[in-house]
Chains A and B, each alone.
Chain A
């Protein structure tokens, strides 16, 4: 349980920083990434956020790299395809295979998309790795997200872990009895696990409803949510960081690599 996203979200160096601050930081920085017309600022943001996550939030480097590898591969493939297929103007050089060539404008566009993917994803990673889901709910509530959506999200969040635990137990007990010995067995066991889990979900839902009713549930979930106000210092930090980035966006707006 400790080496999961949820585990880090609950125990990282930045877990006590203000939630609204973290959410605003992630969203604004992502917007800056998208506004930028050159890859410089998004790549700078990626590097800065990675440094914050590794040194300030103390997320292990290995875990972070693994986490980042999926969008990296995705972004890189996009980059390659764009460089080859999206160009219309001047070619830069020929690959010498199937008459394919790298176009200058395609290359620039691909690099920009790649940088934006990484920059945007690192903003999301910042949010996911430093802010527990549970605290996001209170921010979402103050953003006037409909209550019913939040209640369902809250229950889903909680029960994902209950059913994950049950699925793990069932999987182990099936495995103990050689349920995954052959391909045929694997299909059979997995099918049983899933149908069993579905029934379990149903029964647990009923039990939870009974236990909620016992605590005077009347159709809407009301709970206490800790609310911390954003401090002037946080606002100042936010404004200065985003301003510098926007100036960077402006200065590099006409910069082309090739």
Chain B
């Protein structure tokens, strides 16, 4: 079942620029979907359609099977189901302390204070930020801020978590911590949608990949399918994962017997190379 499905959505900015053009995007329940695209391709604009912050000029969006209706009550329900973690944590963390920020979402859901407290504690523990409750955000590092931003959404217990470039600007360890958290959440049944340009990480976690360029979806499928179409990937200002690129060079320049589909991860490459040596 698709928890998010857009049908031919087109979006024009008030000044007339076309940001999205006939976008059909589906996220299946319990999957991790990656949205790949260069800067300015329309990733963030598309994400803001998912919880009704922006309203498509034409086309429609269904969340959990129901079309979004843009009245306040329904929007609140949609935003409870679909949580968005924004790219810059400084845009999201507005409260003077971590505790107050993470409590903001659940308080808005109208929960009792004890329940809010329980959710806040749980969310902070999930992201490994327990013990930082009383800190103000400006005393945290970039990675810590990002984790608090994620906790702020987690505390609302959404079914679908949408993350805009969750690993950008983080060091490798910070990035892999975030991905580990997301992977665990997904194992527990949460649907996760991520926008990124980190092509090396995509094959590691994504079940499905979309490539968006100039407001249009130009490719979709499993990581193998998408990265198999080398021309489209490069045409969208993206590149192959390093491993796949190495395999491509070994095949084309050194005439080694690694034909398509190229392995995308270290694990796949290892298997393929070992097999080649055994023969």
Contact = CB atoms under 8 A, between A and B. Distances in A.
Interface string A198-220: 00000010011011111111100
Contacts, number: 106
Interface string A100-123: 000000000000000000000000
Contacts of B138: 1, 158, 161-162, 165
A222 B103 CA distance: 8
Size category of the A interface is 20 to 34
A133 interface: yes
A188 to B, nearest CB: 28
Contact of B156 (A132, A155, A157, A215): A215
A223 B107 contact: yes
B104 A221 contact: yes
Interface in B30-54: 48, 51, 53
A163 to B, nearest CB: 10
Contacts of A222: 104, 107-108
B174 to A, nearest CB: 19
Nearest to B103: A224
A212 B90 CA distance: 12
Contacts of B152: 215
Given A158-B96, A204-B91, A224-B99, A216 B86 contact: no
Nearest to B80: A216
B96 A216 contact: no
Contact of B108 (A10, A210, A217): A217
Contacts of A137: 96
A224 B105 CA distance: 11
A216 B120 contact: no
A96 B185 CA distance: 83
B116 to A, nearest CB: 6
B103 A223 contact: yes
Contacts of A132: 134, 136
B95 A223 contact: yes
A215 B134 contact: no
A216 B100 contact: no
Contacts of B137: 158, 161
B100 A223 contact: yes
B134 A134 contact: yes
B193 to A, nearest CB: 14
A140 B134 CA distance: 17
A201 to B, nearest CB: 12
A225 B90 contact: no
Interface of B: 48, 51, 53, 72, 76, 79-80, 83-84, 86, 88, 90-97, 99-101, 103-105, 107-109, 113, 116-117, 120, 133-139, 152-153, 156
Given A133-B96, A204-B91, A211-B92, 8 more contacts: A155-B94, A161-B137, A204-B90, A212-B94, A213-B79, A214-B86, A223-B101, A224-B113
